[in-house]
Amino acid sequence: MTKHLVGGISSAGRALPCLNGEPFLACRSEGAYVWDGAQRRYIDTALGFGATVIGHAHPAVVEAVTAAVRNGPMPAFAHDGEEEAAALLTSATRHLSSAIFTNTGSEAVHLACRLARAATGRTQIAKMAAGYDGWYDDVTLGQAGSVDADMVANARPTRERTTLLRFNDFDDVDRLFAESNDIAAVIVEPMLANAGCIPAAPGYLAHLEATARRHGALVILDEVLMGFRTGFGLAGHGLGIEGDIATVGKAIGSGIAVAAVVGRPELMALAEAGAVIRAGTYSGNPVATAAVTATFRLLKDLEYAALQARGHRLRQEIGTAFSDQGLTVATSGEGSVFTIWFSDSAPSTYAEAKAKASAALTLRLHETLRRRGLLIMPFAFGRLYLSDAHSDAVIGDMVGIFRDAARDMAA
Instruction: Say which CATH number the domain at 285 has.
Output: 3.40.640.10
Is residue 203 domain-resident? yes
Grade residue 20 by pLDDT with cuts at 50, 70 and 90.
Answer: confident
Which strands, in side-by-side order, build the sheet including 183-188?
Answer: 98-102, 259-263, 245-248, 218-223, 183-188, 124-128, 162-165
pTM, entire model: 0.96
Same structural domain for residues 360 and 238?
Answer: no
% residues pLDDT > 70 (the chain): 100
The predicted pLDDT at position 34 comes to 97
The predicted model gives 144-154 an average pLDDT of 92
CB of 245 closer than 8 Å to CB of 221 = yes
The predicted model gives 377-395 an average pLDDT of 97
Is residue 205 domain-resident? yes
The predicted pLDDT at position 5 comes to 85
* DSSP summary character for residue 45: S
**Number of domains the chain is built from:** 2
CA atoms within 13 A on the CB side of 73: 11
Same structural domain for residues 18 and 122?
Answer: no
**Does 336 have pLDDT greater than 70?**
yes
CA 199 to chain centre: 13
Distance (Å, whole) CA 263 – CA 44: 33
Report pLDDT digits (tens) over 341-352: 999 999 999 999
The predicted pLDDT at position 136 comes to 94
The predicted pLDDT at position 21 comes to 80
Among 234, 267, 299, the domain boundary falls at 299
Distance (Å, whole) CA 153 – CA 37: 48
Sign of CA dihedral 15, 21, 24, 27: positive
CB of 127 closer than 8 Å to CB of 141 = yes
Same structural domain for residues 46 and 63?
Answer: no
Among 10-19, 235-244, 351-360, the least confident range? 10-19
CB of 44 closer than 8 Å to CB of 29 = yes
Report pLDDT digits (tens) over 200-231: 999 999 999 999 999 999 999 999 999 999 99
Is residue 119 domain-resident? yes
Instruction: Say which CATH number the domain at 400 has.
Output: 3.90.1150.10
The predicted model gives 362-374 an average pLDDT of 97
The b/e string for 232-251 (b: 16+ C-beta within 10 A; e otherwise) is: ebbbbbebebbbbbbbbbbb
Rg (CA), the chain: 21
Is residue 78 domain-resident? yes
Is residue 40 domain-resident? yes
Among 299, 322, 341, the domain boundary falls at 299
Same structural domain for residues 226 and 255?
Answer: yes
Same structural domain for residues 256 and 372?
Answer: no
The predicted model gives 289-311 an average pLDDT of 98
Same structural domain for residues 154 and 274?
Answer: yes
Grade residue 2 by pLDDT with cuts at 50, 70 and 90.
Answer: low
Same structural domain for residues 122 and 35?
Answer: no
Is residue 86 domain-resident? yes
The predicted model gives 261-287 an average pLDDT of 96
Is residue 1 domain-resident? no
Mean pLDDT over each residue of the chain, to the nearest integer: 96
The predicted pLDDT at position 387 comes to 98
The predicted pLDDT at position 225 comes to 96
Same structural domain for residues 249 and 331?
Answer: no
The predicted pLDDT at position 174 comes to 98
Same structural domain for residues 153 and 177?
Answer: yes
Among 299, 321, 343, the domain boundary falls at 299
Same structural domain for residues 253 and 182?
Answer: yes
The predicted pLDDT at position 95 comes to 98
Is residue 389 domain-resident? yes
The predicted pLDDT at position 1 comes to 53
CB of 242 closer than 8 Å to CB of 268 = no
CB of 168 closer than 8 Å to CB of 206 = no
The predicted model gives 12-26 an average pLDDT of 82
Same structural domain for residues 140 and 270?
Answer: yes
Same structural domain for residues 34 and 79?
Answer: no
**Does 321 have pLDDT greater than 90?**
yes
Grade residue 378 by pLDDT with cuts at 50, 70 and 90.
Answer: very high
Grade residue 146 by pLDDT with cuts at 50, 70 and 90.
Answer: very high
- Boundaries of domain holding 345: 6-53+302-410
75 or 2, greater pLDDT? 75
